[in-house]
C-alpha cells in the first residue's frame, strides 16, 4: 500500500503533473490566441516529456526551472518543443545536474513580428558561398539574392540577412550578419557549449540558428507583439471620441536569468558586401 501511495505522490509531483497544476498561471500570461487552446498546449508539452527521457530527467531535476521556461514560452505565445521554441537539457555546473533551458527558434522570432500586426512580410534567408548576393546600404532598398536551384551543392553558409516589409510598403532596416557575427552569437550560447552539445539546435540544425540570429537582430527594428499589445491598450483609452482613463500598461515579466538561452544581443549591422 505504501508503494502505491509513494508512486502516486511521485507522479503527482512530477513535471507533467506540475504543468497541469500551473494551467491557470500559464493561461494568465498567454496571449488570447493560445488561451483558447491552453489544454492542447499543455498536452503537447506533456507528450514531449514522455517521448524524451533526457528532457524528462532534466525537468525532474529542477521542476521550478522547467515551469519558468514554459512560462516564458507561454507569455511569448510560442509552442515549446518546436522550431518556434526549443526545449533543451543543459548541464548546470553549480547544481551538477541537467536542467531544461528554452531557446527561441527563427520561426518563433518571425511569429512575434507577424503577430504585432505592423508587417506584411518578413524575409530571413541564408546565403551560401555559391549564391550571388548584393546589397549596397544607402543605395539598395533590399538585397539581391540569386540562387541556382539546380546546383547540387550551394557551398557553405556564408551570410544571413533579414528585413521586413511594413504594412505601408516601406522596407525596414536590412540586417546582414557574417560568419564572425554568428560565431559570437554561438559562443554565448550555453546549449551549444554545454555538456550535451549534441542536443543544441546549433548542432542539430545550424542553418535554422543562423536564420534565428538574423531574425532576432531584426526585432530591434520591427515591432514585436509585446509592444503592439501595449499600444493597443493605449489606443483603447479613447473610445467614440471620449477620453477615458488609460488602463495600466501590461507588464510581461522577463524570464529569470539563465532560464532561456538567448543572451546574445549585439547591435545589428547593415550589409556591406557587393558582388557582381
Tell me the Cα Rg of the chain.
Answer: 21
- Cα gap 213→182, rounded to integer Å: 7
C-alpha cell at 97: 545536474
- Confidence at residue 259, expressed as pLDDT on a 0 to 100 scale: 58
- Cα gap 146→135, rounded to integer Å: 12
For residue 39, the surrounding DSSP H or E stretch is helix 38-51
For residue 142, the surrounding DSSP H or E stretch is none
C-alpha cell at 151: 546546383
- Cα gap 168→229, rounded to integer Å: 20
- Confidence at residue 117, expressed as pLDDT on a 0 to 100 scale: 86
pLDDT beneath 50: ranges in the chain: 1-11, 239-240, 242-254, 263-276
- Confidence at residue 50, expressed as pLDDT on a 0 to 100 scale: 92
Q: What is the pTM of this model?
A: 0.74
- Confidence at residue 258, expressed as pLDDT on a 0 to 100 scale: 53
- Cα gap 206→186, rounded to integer Å: 10
- Confidence at residue 196, expressed as pLDDT on a 0 to 100 scale: 63
**152 CB contacts (<8 Å, ≥6 apart)?**
none
Amino acid at each position: 500500500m505504501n508503494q502505491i501511495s509513494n508512486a502516486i505522490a511521485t507522479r503527482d509531483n512530477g513535471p507533467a503533473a506540475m504543468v497541469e497544476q500551473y494551467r491557470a498561471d500559464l493561461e494568465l500570461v498567454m496571449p488570447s490566441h493560445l488561451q483558447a487552446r491552453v489544454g492542447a498546449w499543455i498536452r503537447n508539452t506533456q507528450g514531449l516529456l514522455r517521448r524524451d527521457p533526457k528532457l524528462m530527467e532534466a525537468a525532474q531535476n529542477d521542476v521550478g526551472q522547467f515551469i519558468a521556461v514554459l512560462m516564458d514560452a507561454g507569455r511569448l505565445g510560442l509552442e515549446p518543443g518546436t522550431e518556434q521554441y526549443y526545449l533543451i537539457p543543459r548541464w548546470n555546473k553549480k547544481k551538477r545536474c541537467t536542467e531544461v533551458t528554452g531557446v527561441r527558434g527563427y520561426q518563433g522570432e518571425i511569429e512575434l513580428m507577424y503577430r504585432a500586426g505592423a508587417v506584411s512580410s518578413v524575409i530571413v534567408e541564408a546565403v551560401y558561398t555559391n549564391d550571388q548576393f548584393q546589397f549596397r546600404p544607402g543605395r539598395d532598398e533590399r538585397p539581391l539574392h540569386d540562387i541556382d536551384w539546380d546546383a547540387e551543392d550551394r557551398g557553405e553558409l556564408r551570410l544571413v540577412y533579414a528585413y521586413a516589409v511594413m504594412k505601408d510598403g516601406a522596407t525596414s532596416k536590412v540586417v546582414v550578419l557574417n560568419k564572425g557575427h554568428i560565431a559570437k552569437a554561438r559562443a554565448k550560447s550555453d546549449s551549444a557549449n554545454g555538456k550535451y552539445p549534441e542536443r543544441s539546435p546549433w548542432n542539430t540544425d545550424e542553418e535554422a540558428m543562423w536564420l534565428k540570429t538574423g531574425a532576432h537582430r531584426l526585432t530591434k527594428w520591427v515591432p514585436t507583439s509585446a509592444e503592439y499589445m501595449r499600444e493597443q491598450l493605449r489606443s483603447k483609452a479613447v473610445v467614440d471620441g471620449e477620453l477615458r482613463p488609460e488602463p495600466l500598461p501590461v507588464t510581461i515579466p522577463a524570464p529569470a536569468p539563465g532560464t532561456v538561452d538567448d543572451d546574445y544581443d549585439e547591435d545589428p549591422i547593415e550589409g556591406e558586401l557587393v558582388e557582381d
